[in-house]
Amino acid sequence: MQKSYKLEGLDCASCADKIEKSVQKIHGVEKARVDFMAEKMTLEVESGQDLEVENEARAVIGKLEPDVKVISLKDVKEEEGRNPNKNRLIRIIIAFVLFLALIIIKPSNNWVALASYLVVYVLIGGDIVKRAVTNIFRGEVFDENFLMSVATIGAFFIGEYPEAVAVMLFYQVGEWFQSAAVDQSRKSIAKLMDIRPDSANLLVNGQIKAVAPDTIEIGQQILVKPGEKVPLDGQIIDGSSMVDTSALTGESVPRTVKVGDEILGGFINKNGALTINVTKKFGDSTVSKILDLVENASSKKAPAENFISKFARYYTPVVVVLAILLAVIPPFIFPDTSINEWVYRALTFLVISCPCALVISVPLSFFGGIGGASKLGVLIKGSNYLEILANTETIVFDKTGTLTKGNFVVQNITSVVLPEEELLRLTATAEQLSTHPIAISIKESYGKETVPATAIEEVAGHGIKATIEGKTVLVGNAKLMKQFGIEAPEVKEAGTLIFVAIDNQFAGYLVIADQLKPDAISAIKELKAEGVKQTVMLTGDNQQVAEAIAKEVGVDKVYAELLPDGKVDRLEELLKASSPKNKVAFVGDGMNDAPVLARADVGIAMGGLGSDAAIEAADVVIMNDEPSRIASAIKLSRKTLRIVKQNIIFAIAVKIIVLVLGALGLASMQAAVFADVGVTIIAVLNAMRCLRVEKMKIITKP
């Protein structure tokens, strides 16, 4: 059984790790996962133990992080509007006023000064000290609460009362700003993904009944009024309207929908009432899958995130040991110096050592990158895939439905004995019972009623034989002509050739071809401009057609006439030929692409019209089916990686500089607080740039 909770007020990445480890130890918990960025805790609980586990988890979290409120996800709506940062801000203001008063008054009596500063210290830092003590008893020693408590209490012992209070006050101010920045980033993500429908208008015997979307079954009908979100996937059976698809596809221009069109949950109906026949349950709907993808994306960590977690685990204890050595050894080497001076330097060392800037800003950068991508209509299932995208240098495409629209059209008619319109009429009449995509394209091209055909006979793998108005009509490939002894010309045109013979005489041929997507050519150009070194196309289509498409769009290599296992074999060859740093992406849309999508370093699926199997197997989903969005996603992923590297270099460089200055006695505790909290705030603000995609170049349709 899986249970999910919102951890409101969780503004510390290391706190999230502590909660996860502690809750994991509770009896009855099979697996615990705490997602700091999403403020979400997911528990896999043994059957029948959910209530006991929930109560114990609440108690554990209450001891570890008293400010964190555990809310069942079903109750989240009721808690909206609550500001967990408000109490901290009130305490900061009161403490600052009292501290300022003490600085002005300057108590002359030492005991009065100690008592006064202690009152302010307990007000502003009592929760930090309490948490540090609790964590020590739980085996969690080297965290920011411990470091700040030891440093400031140590300052009291050496008589630096104002310094101790000032450091704790500045630390709390920095924590407040840090929490506000993280919260703002989370709100930006939540706003982008505000597509969850609150209710649905179910039609029952002509009456409208407001119900929860997850209670509606396939085949039932719903009414979507102007201004409402479409709650479920379905087909429009009455009405027409403009719909806003931006939350799913990133498209800013509304789309017109009418009777017969498919519509996805998450679209916003703009101006006309729509009656929709539901085709998917809520759990299987597009909106549900997107919400699940985005909410769980940050649980799949990038290598850079895992590195920072390990770095912080070893870095802090090492710095604590160095601080102890700094306090103990120098007084013996330099007997003329004061012990208090070295203790002060050691305490400064401790304040600097907290790795908050790295632990928070790195995952926040990836979280922002994933949110920014969703704004472009690109869903990335984890920050690890974001990092792989940034290192992608080879992109392999499927053809049909990926670079092309997947809808065949009659591109050319060549007739030798009849008018072209008559040849098309006879061909459409012969194909009238067929459901093959090519047959459908011929009938759509004719667009008129056909006369009945008799003696329709399908010649397996070759075509159709039929009697139309007393004439024997053959429609099919060159093999069909050869089988009946009819000589057909050799045609060099790219596309599927449909030969026609009437009464055993060759009458002409039709060229059927798939249409390129409007942005296919520009998509390949933009990918190459972004540094993608090689583009490849794998297709089951014939060699001639494949080469013509590849040449038109500008793909470097093409492999045609491949079965699904053949596509996997070709991809394996490309993977072996690439270097470890050169990642290979595969882009596809069909069910037969699922094995290749799963095998690639990163699989990219066309999500608007793509099959569920392809979307499930993929790591990245393009919601509007435009291949040009791949270049935008790569550009964003590289921007995200640059910001991550900037934060790592900046945070480590500042800490090393201030650590050295602190050891030499040239940096005060206030400078140490800046090296900790100030750097964290700057890094968090820099990380929030990952959400900004408005100025990013997105290819427009030519």
Phi, then psi, of 636 in degrees rounded to 5: -65, -40
Q: Which of 398, 593, 625, 676 is catalytic?
A: 398
SS3 state at 673: helix
Q: Which amino acid is at 36?
A: F
Tokens representing residue 585 in the block: 């992406």
Residue 214 and residue 665: Cα distance in Å, rounded?
64
DSSP-derived letter for residue 186 is H
> What is the bridge-based pairing of β-strands 463-468 and 471-476?
antiparallel
- Name the E strands within 158-280: 200-204, 207-211, 221-224, 234-238, 241-244, 255-257, 262-263, 268-269, 274-278
**CA dihedral angle for residue 467, residue 473, residue 475, residue 478, rounded to 10 degrees:** 140
**What is the helix (H) or strand (E) element at residue 135, kind and residue range?**
helix 110-137
The answer to whether the beta carbons of residues 357 and 680 sit under 8 Å apart is yes
Side-chain-side CA neighbours of residue 667 (13 Å)? 27
- CA 411 to chain centroid: 39
Q: DSSP assignment, residue 300?
A: S
CA angle, corner 479, sides to 476 and 481, nearest 5? Answer: 65
Give the Cα separation of 110 and 411 in Å (integer): 96
Distance CA(176)–CA(169), nearest Å, equals 11
3-state secondary structure of 40: strand
Torsion of the alpha carbons at 557, 562, 567 and 568, rounded to the nearest 10: -140
Active-site residue flag, 398? yes
Give how far Cα 305 sits from Cα of 186, 372, 466, 502, 601, Å.
18, 18, 66, 69, 19
The set of catalytic residues is 398
